[in-house]
């Protein structure tokens, strides 16, 4: 059995991903999908965008950070379709 160990670049405080997301949303100035945010975080941290396990791991962390930010009223989600959600600043 081979264990998947996330790279050191993904370890750290839970707020590191949230800080990156907020910076990206400020730059974009329009609502973005979870997938777009995930790929941007991966590019910023120089992670391979072709590894499915890495994509799932980063997407899981991005979703958790977005949900925490939404609970605090910082960001809001807009359902574009049944499977696609766009995120932007609340207010």
Q: By residue range, what is the domain housing residue 54?
A: 10-89
pLDDT at 75: 97
What average pLDDT values come out for the chain (91 residues) when binned by 10 residues?
62 80 93 95 90 91 94 94 92 72
Number of structural domains, the chain? 1
- Neighbouring CB atoms inside 10 A of 78's CB total 10
User: Is 2 within the bounds of a domain?
Assistant: no
User: Is 49 within the bounds of a domain?
Assistant: yes
Residue entry with tokens 């949303």: 25
What pTM, to 2 d.p., does this model score? Answer: 0.85
């Amino acid at each position: 059995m081979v264990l998947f160990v996330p790279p050191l670049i993904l370890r750290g405080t839970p707020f590191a991903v949230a800080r990156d997301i907020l910076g990206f949303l400020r730059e974009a100035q329009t609502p973005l999908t979870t997938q777009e945010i995930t790929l941007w975080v991966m590019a910023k941290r120089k992670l391979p965008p072709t590894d499915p396990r890495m994509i799932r791991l980063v997407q899981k962390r991005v979703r958790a950070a977005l949900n925490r930010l939404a609970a605090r009223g910082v960001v809001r989600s807009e359902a574009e379709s049944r499977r696609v959600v766009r995120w932007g600043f609340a207010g």
